[in-house]
A and B are shown apart, each in its own frame.
Chain A
Amino acid sequence: MNLFDYVRPTSVAEAVTAAASADAAYLAGGTNLLDLMKGGVRHPGRLVDITKLPGLDAVETLADGSIRIGALVKNADLARDPTLLAAAPAVAEALLSGASAQLRNAASVGGNVMQRTRCAYFYDPESACNRREPGSGCDARGGDTRGQAILGWSDACIATHPSDFCVPLAALDAVVEVAGVDGSRDLAFDALHNLPGDDPSDETALRPGELITAIRLPAEVRRFAPNARYLKVRERTSYAFALVSAAAALDIADGVVSEARLTLGAVAAKPWRAHAAETALVGRPVTAETAREAAEAALADARPSGDNADKIVLATRVLARAITLAAAGTPERMPALPGSVFAAVPAQTATGAIHG
Protein backbone atom coordinates (compact mmCIF):
# COMPACT_ATOMS: atom_id res chain seq x y z
CA MET A 1 0.00 0.00 0.00
CA ASN A 2 1.36 3.41 -0.99
CA LEU A 3 1.79 6.26 1.45
CA PHE A 4 -1.15 8.66 1.47
CA ASP A 5 -2.46 11.71 3.23
CA TYR A 6 -5.09 10.88 5.76
CA VAL A 7 -7.74 13.45 6.55
CA ARG A 8 -10.82 13.21 8.71
CA PRO A 9 -13.32 15.92 7.85
CA THR A 10 -16.12 16.76 10.25
CA SER A 11 -18.79 17.81 7.78
CA VAL A 12 -19.95 16.91 4.31
CA ALA A 13 -18.82 20.30 3.07
CA GLU A 14 -15.33 19.73 4.45
CA ALA A 15 -15.30 16.23 3.00
CA VAL A 16 -16.14 17.21 -0.56
CA THR A 17 -13.57 19.99 -0.39
CA ALA A 18 -10.93 17.60 0.91
CA ALA A 19 -11.76 15.14 -1.86
CA ALA A 20 -11.49 17.67 -4.64
CA SER A 21 -7.96 16.60 -5.58
CA ALA A 22 -7.80 14.12 -8.41
CA ASP A 23 -6.16 11.32 -6.46
CA ALA A 24 -8.37 11.45 -3.36
CA ALA A 25 -10.63 8.60 -2.30
CA TYR A 26 -13.35 8.41 0.29
CA LEU A 27 -12.89 5.85 3.04
CA ALA A 28 -16.01 4.51 4.70
CA GLY A 29 -16.16 0.83 5.68
CA GLY A 30 -13.03 0.20 3.66
CA THR A 31 -14.00 -3.34 2.76
CA ASN A 32 -13.49 -2.71 -0.94
CA LEU A 33 -11.07 0.22 -0.96
CA LEU A 34 -8.50 -1.34 1.37
CA ASP A 35 -8.74 -4.59 -0.55
CA LEU A 36 -7.98 -2.73 -3.78
CA MET A 37 -5.16 -0.74 -2.20
CA LYS A 38 -3.56 -3.89 -0.80
CA GLY A 39 -3.82 -5.49 -4.21
CA GLY A 40 -2.05 -2.57 -5.86
CA VAL A 41 -5.15 -1.78 -7.88
CA ARG A 42 -5.76 1.65 -6.37
CA HIS A 43 -3.18 4.15 -5.13
CA PRO A 44 -5.01 7.15 -3.76
CA GLY A 45 -2.77 9.99 -2.65
CA ARG A 46 -5.28 11.09 -0.08
CA LEU A 47 -7.83 9.18 1.96
CA VAL A 48 -10.77 11.22 3.11
CA ASP A 49 -12.12 9.29 6.09
CA ILE A 50 -15.84 9.96 6.20
CA THR A 51 -16.66 7.37 8.85
CA LYS A 52 -17.25 10.01 11.50
CA LEU A 53 -19.30 12.45 9.44
CA PRO A 54 -22.45 13.30 11.36
CA GLY A 55 -25.96 12.76 10.09
CA LEU A 56 -25.34 10.04 7.53
CA ASP A 57 -26.10 6.97 9.62
CA ALA A 58 -29.88 7.01 9.95
CA VAL A 59 -32.77 5.30 8.23
CA GLU A 60 -35.74 7.66 8.25
CA THR A 61 -39.17 8.00 6.70
CA LEU A 62 -39.64 11.36 5.04
CA ALA A 63 -42.86 13.36 4.91
CA ASP A 64 -43.71 12.02 1.46
CA GLY A 65 -43.39 8.46 2.70
CA SER A 66 -40.10 7.81 1.00
CA ILE A 67 -37.37 6.10 2.97
CA ARG A 68 -34.05 7.85 3.28
CA ILE A 69 -31.06 5.65 4.05
CA GLY A 70 -27.93 7.51 5.14
CA ALA A 71 -24.83 6.60 3.18
CA LEU A 72 -22.96 5.54 6.30
CA VAL A 73 -25.62 3.12 7.50
CA LYS A 74 -23.92 -0.24 7.77
CA ASN A 75 -25.21 -3.01 5.55
CA ALA A 76 -25.98 -5.15 8.61
CA ASP A 77 -27.94 -2.39 10.32
CA LEU A 78 -29.95 -1.65 7.24
CA ALA A 79 -30.81 -5.33 6.79
CA ARG A 80 -32.39 -5.45 10.24
CA ASP A 81 -34.00 -2.02 10.13
CA PRO A 82 -37.77 -2.43 10.74
CA THR A 83 -38.70 0.33 8.30
CA LEU A 84 -36.73 -1.26 5.51
CA LEU A 85 -37.91 -4.78 6.32
CA ALA A 86 -41.52 -3.66 6.16
CA ALA A 87 -41.18 -1.60 3.02
CA ALA A 88 -38.56 -3.36 0.93
CA PRO A 89 -37.87 -6.88 2.21
CA ALA A 90 -35.99 -7.90 -0.94
CA VAL A 91 -33.38 -5.25 -0.19
CA ALA A 92 -32.77 -6.86 3.19
CA GLU A 93 -32.61 -10.31 1.67
CA ALA A 94 -30.10 -9.12 -0.91
CA LEU A 95 -27.94 -7.50 1.74
CA LEU A 96 -27.94 -10.62 3.87
CA SER A 97 -27.04 -12.83 0.93
CA GLY A 98 -23.85 -10.88 0.41
CA ALA A 99 -20.38 -11.28 1.87
CA SER A 100 -20.19 -12.26 5.55
CA ALA A 101 -21.62 -10.91 8.79
CA GLN A 102 -18.28 -9.25 9.58
CA LEU A 103 -18.13 -7.49 6.22
CA ARG A 104 -21.77 -6.41 6.48
CA ASN A 105 -20.96 -4.88 9.87
CA ALA A 106 -18.24 -2.79 8.25
CA ALA A 107 -19.58 -2.05 4.79
CA SER A 108 -21.60 1.12 4.31
CA VAL A 109 -24.54 1.74 2.02
CA GLY A 110 -22.62 4.26 -0.04
CA GLY A 111 -19.58 2.04 -0.28
CA ASN A 112 -21.63 -0.94 -1.36
CA VAL A 113 -23.10 0.85 -4.35
CA MET A 114 -19.68 2.28 -5.24
CA GLN A 115 -17.85 -1.05 -5.05
CA ARG A 116 -15.79 -2.00 -8.05
CA THR A 117 -16.07 -5.05 -10.25
CA ARG A 118 -14.58 -8.31 -9.02
CA CYS A 119 -13.26 -9.15 -12.48
CA ALA A 120 -9.99 -11.01 -11.85
CA TYR A 121 -8.25 -9.02 -14.56
CA PHE A 122 -9.31 -5.71 -13.04
CA TYR A 123 -7.95 -6.99 -9.73
CA ASP A 124 -4.62 -8.04 -11.22
CA PRO A 125 -2.42 -4.99 -11.85
CA GLU A 126 -0.31 -7.03 -14.28
CA SER A 127 -3.26 -7.63 -16.60
CA ALA A 128 -4.51 -5.19 -19.20
CA CYS A 129 -7.73 -3.57 -18.07
CA ASN A 130 -9.41 -0.59 -19.67
CA ARG A 131 -11.46 -0.08 -16.55
CA ARG A 132 -8.38 0.25 -14.33
CA GLU A 133 -6.09 1.80 -16.91
CA PRO A 134 -7.88 3.36 -19.87
CA GLY A 135 -6.53 2.23 -23.21
CA SER A 136 -4.52 -0.70 -21.86
CA GLY A 137 -6.83 -3.34 -23.32
CA CYS A 138 -8.97 -6.05 -21.80
CA ASP A 139 -7.31 -9.30 -20.80
CA ALA A 140 -10.63 -10.65 -19.67
CA ARG A 141 -11.51 -11.08 -23.34
CA GLY A 142 -10.21 -14.49 -24.25
CA GLY A 143 -9.42 -15.23 -20.62
CA ASP A 144 -11.51 -16.88 -17.95
CA THR A 145 -14.94 -15.57 -18.87
CA ARG A 146 -17.26 -17.74 -16.81
CA GLY A 147 -18.19 -14.89 -14.52
CA GLN A 148 -18.20 -12.16 -17.12
CA ALA A 149 -21.03 -10.16 -18.63
CA ILE A 150 -23.71 -11.36 -20.99
CA LEU A 151 -25.52 -8.05 -21.31
CA GLY A 152 -24.42 -4.52 -22.06
CA TRP A 153 -20.73 -5.34 -22.48
CA SER A 154 -18.44 -3.80 -25.03
CA ASP A 155 -15.23 -4.77 -26.74
CA ALA A 156 -13.46 -2.60 -24.17
CA CYS A 157 -14.81 -4.37 -21.08
CA ILE A 158 -16.85 -7.43 -20.15
CA ALA A 159 -16.84 -7.01 -16.37
CA THR A 160 -19.90 -7.30 -14.15
CA HIS A 161 -21.08 -5.36 -11.13
CA PRO A 162 -20.84 -7.56 -8.05
CA SER A 163 -23.29 -5.94 -5.65
CA ASP A 164 -26.31 -7.80 -4.33
CA PHE A 165 -27.76 -4.70 -2.65
CA CYS A 166 -27.86 -2.73 -5.89
CA VAL A 167 -30.04 -5.29 -7.64
CA PRO A 168 -33.27 -4.62 -5.70
CA LEU A 169 -32.38 -0.92 -5.46
CA ALA A 170 -32.45 -0.74 -9.24
CA ALA A 171 -35.72 -2.64 -9.32
CA LEU A 172 -37.31 -0.26 -6.84
CA ASP A 173 -36.29 2.94 -8.65
CA ALA A 174 -34.12 4.15 -5.80
CA VAL A 175 -32.74 7.66 -5.87
CA VAL A 176 -29.15 8.55 -5.03
CA GLU A 177 -28.46 11.76 -3.11
CA VAL A 178 -25.11 13.22 -4.00
CA ALA A 179 -23.12 16.11 -2.54
CA GLY A 180 -20.35 18.00 -4.28
CA VAL A 181 -18.51 21.27 -4.04
CA ASP A 182 -21.28 22.82 -6.13
CA GLY A 183 -24.07 21.55 -3.90
CA SER A 184 -26.33 18.53 -3.82
CA ARG A 185 -28.29 16.71 -6.47
CA ASP A 186 -30.38 13.60 -6.97
CA LEU A 187 -29.56 10.83 -9.39
CA ALA A 188 -31.86 8.05 -10.51
CA PHE A 189 -30.30 4.79 -9.35
CA ASP A 190 -30.46 3.43 -12.87
CA ALA A 191 -28.33 6.37 -13.99
CA LEU A 192 -25.64 5.85 -11.35
CA HIS A 193 -23.63 3.05 -12.96
CA ASN A 194 -22.43 3.28 -16.53
CA LEU A 195 -22.20 0.53 -19.07
CA PRO A 196 -18.62 0.22 -20.32
CA GLY A 197 -18.93 1.58 -23.82
CA ASP A 198 -15.59 2.80 -25.17
CA ASP A 199 -14.29 3.97 -21.80
CA PRO A 200 -15.13 1.60 -18.97
CA SER A 201 -13.02 3.64 -16.55
CA ASP A 202 -15.88 6.13 -16.53
CA GLU A 203 -17.82 3.93 -14.14
CA THR A 204 -20.46 6.15 -12.59
CA ALA A 205 -22.36 9.36 -13.10
CA LEU A 206 -20.64 10.89 -10.09
CA ARG A 207 -18.41 13.84 -10.86
CA PRO A 208 -14.92 13.82 -9.39
CA GLY A 209 -15.09 14.39 -5.63
CA GLU A 210 -18.82 13.92 -5.34
CA LEU A 211 -20.01 12.00 -2.31
CA ILE A 212 -23.09 9.84 -1.97
CA THR A 213 -24.91 11.02 1.14
CA ALA A 214 -28.06 8.91 1.02
CA ILE A 215 -30.18 6.49 -0.96
CA ARG A 216 -33.93 7.09 -1.11
CA LEU A 217 -36.59 4.54 -1.76
CA PRO A 218 -39.84 6.02 -3.06
CA ALA A 219 -42.95 5.57 -0.90
CA GLU A 220 -44.56 3.35 -3.52
CA VAL A 221 -42.08 0.51 -2.94
CA ARG A 222 -44.36 -0.68 -0.15
CA ARG A 223 -46.80 -1.90 -2.78
CA PHE A 224 -44.36 -4.62 -3.65
CA ALA A 225 -43.47 -5.70 -0.13
CA PRO A 226 -45.82 -8.69 0.03
CA ASN A 227 -44.29 -10.17 -3.13
CA ALA A 228 -40.60 -9.37 -3.17
CA ARG A 229 -37.65 -11.73 -3.28
CA TYR A 230 -33.97 -11.81 -4.05
CA LEU A 231 -32.44 -14.98 -5.46
CA LYS A 232 -28.73 -15.58 -5.83
CA VAL A 233 -27.13 -18.62 -7.45
CA ARG A 234 -23.54 -19.31 -6.38
CA GLU A 235 -21.03 -22.16 -6.39
CA ARG A 236 -20.79 -22.19 -2.60
CA THR A 237 -23.74 -22.15 -0.19
CA SER A 238 -22.64 -18.89 1.40
CA TYR A 239 -19.87 -16.24 1.34
CA ALA A 240 -19.62 -16.18 -2.43
CA PHE A 241 -20.36 -13.72 -5.18
CA ALA A 242 -23.34 -14.42 -7.40
CA LEU A 243 -23.03 -16.32 -10.65
CA VAL A 244 -26.35 -14.74 -11.42
CA SER A 245 -28.89 -13.11 -9.16
CA ALA A 246 -32.27 -11.52 -9.57
CA ALA A 247 -34.61 -9.30 -7.63
CA ALA A 248 -38.31 -9.61 -8.30
CA ALA A 249 -40.93 -7.33 -6.80
CA LEU A 250 -44.50 -7.75 -7.90
CA ASP A 251 -47.71 -5.87 -7.32
CA ILE A 252 -50.35 -8.53 -7.70
CA ALA A 253 -54.05 -7.81 -7.66
CA ASP A 254 -56.72 -10.45 -8.11
CA GLY A 255 -54.11 -12.98 -9.14
CA VAL A 256 -52.80 -10.80 -11.92
CA VAL A 257 -49.58 -8.80 -11.99
CA SER A 258 -50.40 -5.11 -12.13
CA GLU A 259 -46.79 -4.02 -11.95
CA ALA A 260 -43.50 -5.89 -11.94
CA ARG A 261 -40.02 -4.75 -11.01
CA LEU A 262 -37.31 -7.11 -12.19
CA THR A 263 -33.54 -6.74 -12.12
CA LEU A 264 -30.74 -9.16 -12.85
CA GLY A 265 -27.43 -9.07 -10.99
CA ALA A 266 -23.94 -10.16 -12.03
CA VAL A 267 -24.81 -10.16 -15.71
CA ALA A 268 -23.63 -6.68 -16.72
CA ALA A 269 -21.51 -3.78 -15.54
CA LYS A 270 -24.57 -2.48 -13.72
CA PRO A 271 -27.65 -4.02 -12.18
CA TRP A 272 -29.70 -4.97 -15.24
CA ARG A 273 -33.22 -3.71 -15.02
CA ALA A 274 -35.38 -5.99 -17.16
CA HIS A 275 -38.04 -3.64 -18.47
CA ALA A 276 -39.09 -5.97 -21.27
CA ALA A 277 -39.73 -8.72 -18.77
CA GLU A 278 -41.71 -6.36 -16.56
CA THR A 279 -43.95 -5.43 -19.46
CA ALA A 280 -44.36 -9.06 -20.42
CA LEU A 281 -45.73 -9.92 -16.98
CA VAL A 282 -48.19 -7.10 -16.57
CA GLY A 283 -51.80 -8.17 -16.83
CA ARG A 284 -50.97 -11.84 -16.51
CA PRO A 285 -51.00 -14.29 -13.63
CA VAL A 286 -47.62 -15.66 -12.59
CA THR A 287 -47.30 -19.21 -13.82
CA ALA A 288 -44.24 -21.26 -14.73
CA GLU A 289 -44.93 -20.32 -18.32
CA THR A 290 -45.46 -16.57 -17.91
CA ALA A 291 -42.41 -16.36 -15.66
CA ARG A 292 -40.30 -18.15 -18.25
CA GLU A 293 -41.60 -15.98 -21.06
CA ALA A 294 -40.83 -12.84 -19.11
CA ALA A 295 -37.34 -14.08 -18.30
CA GLU A 296 -36.72 -14.94 -21.92
CA ALA A 297 -37.72 -11.42 -22.87
CA ALA A 298 -35.19 -10.09 -20.35
CA LEU A 299 -32.38 -12.07 -21.94
CA ALA A 300 -33.41 -11.53 -25.55
CA ASP A 301 -30.42 -9.29 -26.20
CA ALA A 302 -27.93 -11.32 -24.19
CA ARG A 303 -24.84 -12.61 -25.90
CA PRO A 304 -21.85 -14.42 -24.49
CA SER A 305 -18.70 -12.38 -23.94
CA GLY A 306 -16.60 -15.51 -24.16
CA ASP A 307 -17.09 -19.07 -23.06
CA ASN A 308 -20.12 -18.17 -20.98
CA ALA A 309 -23.18 -18.94 -23.08
CA ASP A 310 -24.48 -21.13 -20.27
CA LYS A 311 -24.77 -18.03 -18.13
CA ILE A 312 -27.56 -16.86 -20.43
CA VAL A 313 -29.41 -20.10 -19.77
CA LEU A 314 -28.83 -19.73 -16.06
CA ALA A 315 -29.87 -16.07 -15.98
CA THR A 316 -33.12 -16.89 -17.72
CA ARG A 317 -33.90 -19.58 -15.18
CA VAL A 318 -32.88 -17.44 -12.22
CA LEU A 319 -35.14 -14.61 -13.23
CA ALA A 320 -38.04 -16.96 -13.90
CA ARG A 321 -37.55 -18.54 -10.50
CA ALA A 322 -37.30 -15.18 -8.75
CA ILE A 323 -40.62 -14.22 -10.31
CA THR A 324 -42.33 -17.39 -9.11
CA LEU A 325 -40.80 -17.05 -5.64
CA ALA A 326 -42.00 -13.46 -5.40
CA ALA A 327 -45.45 -14.47 -6.57
CA ALA A 328 -45.56 -17.14 -3.87
CA GLY A 329 -45.16 -14.36 -1.33
CA THR A 330 -42.51 -12.81 0.81
CA PRO A 331 -41.75 -15.27 3.62
CA GLU A 332 -42.88 -14.36 7.10
CA ARG A 333 -39.35 -14.54 8.44
CA MET A 334 -36.09 -13.93 6.69
CA PRO A 335 -34.95 -17.32 5.35
CA ALA A 336 -32.11 -18.99 7.23
CA LEU A 337 -30.08 -18.86 4.02
CA PRO A 338 -31.07 -15.48 2.55
CA GLY A 339 -31.30 -15.38 -1.20
CA SER A 340 -30.30 -19.00 -1.45
CA VAL A 341 -31.63 -21.65 -3.74
CA PHE A 342 -31.69 -23.64 -0.51
CA ALA A 343 -33.48 -20.95 1.47
CA ALA A 344 -35.75 -23.72 2.67
CA VAL A 345 -39.02 -21.90 2.43
CA PRO A 346 -41.45 -24.57 1.31
CA ALA A 347 -44.24 -23.01 -0.73
CA GLN A 348 -46.93 -23.78 1.83
CA THR A 349 -45.33 -21.62 4.55
CA ALA A 350 -45.11 -18.55 2.37
CA THR A 351 -47.90 -16.40 3.63
CA GLY A 352 -47.34 -13.22 1.76
CA ALA A 353 -46.38 -11.59 5.01
CA ILE A 354 -43.32 -9.45 5.23
CA HIS A 355 -40.13 -10.35 7.01
CA GLY A 356 -40.43 -10.04 10.76
Chain B
Amino acid sequence: MTLTLTLTVNGERREVPLDDARPTLLDVLRERIGLTGTKKGCDRGQCGACTVLVDGRRMNACLTLAMSVDGAEITTIEGLAENGALHPVQAAFVENDAFQCGFCTPGQIMSAVGLIAEGEAGDDPERIREGMSGNLCRCAAYPGIAKAVADAQKRLADNERKSA
Protein backbone atom coordinates (compact mmCIF):
# COMPACT_ATOMS: atom_id res chain seq x y z
CA MET B 1 0.00 0.00 0.00
CA THR B 2 1.31 3.43 -0.85
CA LEU B 3 -0.36 6.57 0.43
CA THR B 4 0.05 10.10 -0.76
CA LEU B 5 0.13 12.83 1.80
CA THR B 6 -0.47 16.37 0.63
CA LEU B 7 0.63 19.27 2.78
CA THR B 8 1.28 22.93 2.27
CA VAL B 9 4.47 23.57 4.17
CA ASN B 10 5.60 27.15 4.60
CA GLY B 11 3.47 28.10 1.64
CA GLU B 12 4.79 25.36 -0.62
CA ARG B 13 2.59 22.49 -1.67
CA ARG B 14 4.19 19.09 -1.07
CA GLU B 15 3.14 15.62 -2.04
CA VAL B 16 4.82 13.01 0.09
CA PRO B 17 4.49 9.31 -0.75
CA LEU B 18 4.30 7.11 2.34
CA ASP B 19 4.78 3.34 2.54
CA ASP B 20 2.19 3.21 5.28
CA ALA B 21 0.23 5.54 7.55
CA ARG B 22 2.57 5.33 10.52
CA PRO B 23 4.72 8.44 10.10
CA THR B 24 3.98 11.38 12.32
CA LEU B 25 3.96 14.90 11.00
CA LEU B 26 7.29 15.36 12.78
CA ASP B 27 8.98 12.45 11.04
CA VAL B 28 7.55 13.53 7.68
CA LEU B 29 8.94 17.03 8.11
CA ARG B 30 12.35 15.90 9.35
CA GLU B 31 13.04 12.66 7.53
CA ARG B 32 10.98 12.92 4.32
CA ILE B 33 10.82 16.62 3.49
CA GLY B 34 14.15 17.47 5.11
CA LEU B 35 12.95 20.37 7.21
CA THR B 36 15.03 19.54 10.27
CA GLY B 37 14.53 22.81 12.11
CA THR B 38 11.63 21.20 13.96
CA LYS B 39 13.15 19.05 16.70
CA LYS B 40 12.34 15.76 18.36
CA GLY B 41 12.91 15.98 22.09
CA CYS B 42 10.61 13.29 23.45
CA ASP B 43 8.35 12.09 20.61
CA ARG B 44 5.50 11.80 23.11
CA GLY B 45 4.03 15.27 23.59
CA GLN B 46 5.97 15.85 26.77
CA CYS B 47 8.44 18.57 25.77
CA GLY B 48 7.14 20.81 22.98
CA ALA B 49 10.36 20.78 20.90
CA CYS B 50 8.37 19.69 17.84
CA THR B 51 5.85 22.52 17.99
CA VAL B 52 4.67 23.70 14.56
CA LEU B 53 1.60 25.57 13.39
CA VAL B 54 -1.09 23.41 11.83
CA ASP B 55 -3.62 25.65 10.11
CA GLY B 56 -2.31 28.45 12.30
CA ARG B 57 -2.51 26.63 15.63
CA ARG B 58 0.43 25.41 17.68
CA MET B 59 0.56 21.65 17.89
CA ASN B 60 3.01 18.91 18.80
CA ALA B 61 4.04 17.40 15.46
CA CYS B 62 5.20 14.23 17.25
CA LEU B 63 1.68 13.23 18.28
CA THR B 64 0.10 14.21 14.99
CA LEU B 65 -0.33 11.34 12.58
CA ALA B 66 0.67 12.91 9.28
CA MET B 67 -2.26 11.42 7.38
CA SER B 68 -4.67 12.95 9.86
CA VAL B 69 -3.59 16.44 8.76
CA ASP B 70 -3.66 15.61 5.05
CA GLY B 71 -4.37 18.86 3.23
CA ALA B 72 -3.36 21.12 6.10
CA GLU B 73 -1.18 24.20 6.05
CA ILE B 74 1.93 23.71 8.14
CA THR B 75 4.25 26.46 9.29
CA THR B 76 7.63 25.46 10.64
CA ILE B 77 10.52 27.48 11.99
CA GLU B 78 11.99 27.61 8.47
CA GLY B 79 8.91 29.45 7.24
CA LEU B 80 8.87 32.26 9.76
CA ALA B 81 11.46 34.73 8.51
CA GLU B 82 10.30 36.77 5.52
CA ASN B 83 12.68 38.01 2.84
CA GLY B 84 15.62 37.28 5.08
CA ALA B 85 14.29 39.40 7.94
CA LEU B 86 13.75 37.67 11.25
CA HIS B 87 10.17 37.43 12.48
CA PRO B 88 9.66 39.70 15.52
CA VAL B 89 9.52 36.64 17.78
CA GLN B 90 12.81 35.37 16.38
CA ALA B 91 14.42 38.77 16.80
CA ALA B 92 13.14 39.06 20.35
CA PHE B 93 14.59 35.65 21.19
CA VAL B 94 18.02 36.77 20.03
CA GLU B 95 17.84 40.09 21.85
CA ASN B 96 16.63 38.60 25.13
CA ASP B 97 19.08 35.68 25.03
CA ALA B 98 16.03 33.42 25.21
CA PHE B 99 17.98 30.26 24.41
CA GLN B 100 21.28 28.62 25.04
CA CYS B 101 21.84 25.34 23.22
CA GLY B 102 19.08 26.22 20.75
CA PHE B 103 17.57 22.77 20.50
CA CYS B 104 14.19 23.61 22.01
CA THR B 105 14.24 27.04 20.38
CA PRO B 106 12.33 26.33 17.16
CA GLY B 107 9.54 24.80 19.25
CA GLN B 108 9.63 27.68 21.72
CA ILE B 109 9.39 30.21 18.93
CA MET B 110 6.55 28.45 17.12
CA SER B 111 4.76 28.09 20.43
CA ALA B 112 5.26 31.79 21.13
CA VAL B 113 3.87 32.69 17.70
CA GLY B 114 0.86 30.51 18.49
CA LEU B 115 0.47 32.02 21.96
CA ILE B 116 0.53 35.56 20.64
CA ALA B 117 -2.01 34.69 17.94
CA GLU B 118 -4.31 33.22 20.59
CA GLY B 119 -4.32 36.70 22.08
CA GLU B 120 -5.13 35.70 25.63
CA ALA B 121 -1.86 36.22 27.46
CA GLY B 122 -1.22 39.80 26.43
CA ASP B 123 1.81 41.15 28.23
CA ASP B 124 0.94 39.51 31.56
CA PRO B 125 4.17 37.71 32.51
CA GLU B 126 2.36 35.04 34.50
CA ARG B 127 0.05 34.23 31.60
CA ILE B 128 3.01 34.13 29.25
CA ARG B 129 4.91 31.75 31.54
CA GLU B 130 1.87 29.50 31.85
CA GLY B 131 1.21 29.69 28.13
CA MET B 132 4.82 28.71 27.38
CA SER B 133 4.96 25.90 29.94
CA GLY B 134 4.36 23.26 27.29
CA ASN B 135 7.87 23.89 26.00
CA LEU B 136 10.64 22.48 28.13
CA CYS B 137 14.03 24.14 28.05
CA ARG B 138 16.72 22.12 29.80
CA CYS B 139 19.16 25.02 29.64
CA ALA B 140 16.38 26.83 31.50
CA ALA B 141 16.37 30.03 29.47
CA TYR B 142 12.87 30.64 30.83
CA PRO B 143 13.38 34.21 32.09
CA GLY B 144 14.64 35.27 28.66
CA ILE B 145 11.88 33.36 26.90
CA ALA B 146 9.17 35.07 28.94
CA LYS B 147 10.73 38.48 28.26
CA ALA B 148 11.13 37.74 24.56
CA VAL B 149 7.50 36.72 24.19
CA ALA B 150 6.34 39.87 25.98
CA ASP B 151 8.59 42.03 23.79
CA ALA B 152 7.48 40.37 20.59
CA GLN B 153 3.83 40.56 21.57
CA LYS B 154 4.22 44.29 22.11
CA ARG B 155 6.07 44.75 18.84
CA LEU B 156 3.47 42.81 16.87
CA ALA B 157 0.65 44.73 18.55
CA ASP B 158 2.39 48.02 17.68
CA ASN B 159 2.84 46.92 14.08
CA GLU B 160 -0.81 46.01 13.91
CA ARG B 161 -1.85 49.37 15.31
CA LYS B 162 0.34 51.19 12.80
CA SER B 163 -0.97 49.25 9.84
CA ALA B 164 -4.58 49.65 10.99
Instruction: Please tell me whether chains A and B touch each other in their complex, using a CB distance cut-off of 8 A.
Output: yes
Instruction: Give residues in A with beta carbon < 8 Å to B.
Output: 1, 3-4, 6, 8, 27, 29-31, 34-35, 38-39, 47, 49, 51, 76, 80, 99-103, 105-106, 237-239, 336-338, 344
**A35, B114: Cβ atoms closer than 8 Å:** no
Which has the most chain B C-beta neighbours within 10 Å: A27, A47, A102, A237? A102
Q: How far is B129's CA from A263's CA once the two chains are assembled, in angstroms?
A: 29
Can you sample 26 A-B contacts with CB below 8 Å?
Answer: A1-B22, A3-B22, A4-B20, A4-B21, A4-B22, A6-B21, A31-B45, A34-B24, A34-B63, A35-B44, A38-B44, A49-B68, A80-B120, A99-B134, A100-B134, A100-B135, A101-B131, A102-B45, A102-B58, A102-B111, A103-B45, A103-B63, A105-B54, A106-B60, A238-B133, A337-B126
**A105, B57: Cβ atoms closer than 8 Å:** yes
Given A103-B45, A237-B133, A338-B130, output 12 extra A-B contacts at Cβ < 8 Å: A35-B45, A38-B43, A49-B65, A49-B68, A99-B134, A102-B45, A102-B59, A102-B114, A106-B63, A239-B134, A336-B130, A337-B130
Chain A's closest residue to B65 (CB) is: A30
Contact of A51 among B45, B59, B68, B114 (CB under 8 A): B68
Q: How far is B68's CA from A163's CA once the two chains are assembled, in angstroms?
A: 24
Interface flag for B124 (CB, 8 Å): yes
Q: Which residues from chain B contact A34 at a C-beta distance below 8 Å?
A: 24, 63-65
Known: A31-B63, A47-B21, A337-B126. A102 touches B134 (CB 8 A): yes
Least distance between B152 CB and chain A CB atoms (Å): 16
Q: How far is B115's CA from A39's CA once the two chains are assembled, in angstroms?
A: 30
Q: How far is B59's CA from A6's CA once the two chains are assembled, in angstroms?
A: 22
Q: Which residues from chain A contact B67 at a C-beta distance below 8 Å?
A: 6, 8, 49
**A101, B45: Cβ atoms closer than 8 Å:** no
Interface string of B121-147 (1 = CB under 8 A from A): 000101101110111000000000000
Interface flag for B90 (CB, 8 Å): no
Provide the main secondary structure of the chain A interface.
loop
Q: Which residues from chain B contact A39 at a C-beta distance below 8 Å?
A: 44
Interface flag for B118 (CB, 8 Å): yes
Instruction: Give residues in B with beta carbon < 8 Å to A.
Output: 3, 20-22, 24, 43-45, 48, 51, 54, 57-60, 63-65, 67-68, 111, 114-115, 118, 120, 124, 126-127, 129-131, 133-135
Chain A's closest residue to B23 (CB) is: A1
Known: A31-B45, A49-B68, A51-B68. A101 touches B63 (CB 8 A): no
Least distance between B66 CB and chain A CB atoms (Å): 10
Q: Which residues from chain B contact A35 at a C-beta distance below 8 Å?
A: 44-45, 63
Q: Which residues from chain A contact B120 at a C-beta distance below 8 Å?
A: 80
Which has the most chain A C-beta neighbours within 10 Å: B44, B68, B133? B68
Chain A's closest residue to B69 (CB) is: A51
Q: Which residues from chain A contact B118 at a C-beta distance below 8 Å?
A: 101
Provide the main secondary structure of the chain B interface.
mixed
Least distance between B149 CB and chain A CB atoms (Å): 12
Least distance between B120 CB and chain A CB atoms (Å): 7
Closest 9 CB pairs of A and B: A100-B134, A6-B21, A238-B133, A336-B126, A105-B57, A336-B127, A102-B60, A239-B133, A34-B63
Q: Which residues from chain A contact B48 at a C-beta distance below 8 Å?
A: 100, 102
Contact of A3 among B20, B24, B60, B63 (CB under 8 A): B20
Least distance between B86 CB and chain A CB atoms (Å): 23
Q: Which residues from chain B contact A337 at a C-beta distance below 8 Å?
A: 126, 130
**B58, A105: Cβ atoms closer than 8 Å:** yes
Q: Which residues from chain A contact B111 at a C-beta distance below 8 Å?
A: 101-102
Q: How far is B131's CA from A290's CA once the two chains are assembled, in angstroms?
A: 36
Q: Which residues from chain B contact A99 at a C-beta distance below 8 Å?
A: 45, 134
Q: Which residues from chain B contact A101 at a C-beta distance below 8 Å?
A: 58, 111, 114-115, 118, 131, 134
Chain A's closest residue to B127 (CB) is: A336
Chain A's closest residue to B44 (CB) is: A35
Q: How far is B119's CA from A80's CA once the two chains are assembled, in angstroms?
A: 11
**A238, B24: Cβ atoms closer than 8 Å:** no
Contact of B68 among A27, A76, A102, A239 (CB under 8 A): A27
Least distance between A45 CB and chain B CB atoms (Å): 12
Known: A38-B43, A49-B68. A30 touches B63 (CB 8 A): yes
Chain B's closest residue to A338 (CB) is: B130
Q: Which residues from chain A contact B51 at a C-beta distance below 8 Å?
A: 102
Contact of B124 among A38, A80, A336 (CB under 8 A): A336
Least distance between B56 CB and chain A CB atoms (Å): 10
**B64, A106: Cβ atoms closer than 8 Å:** yes
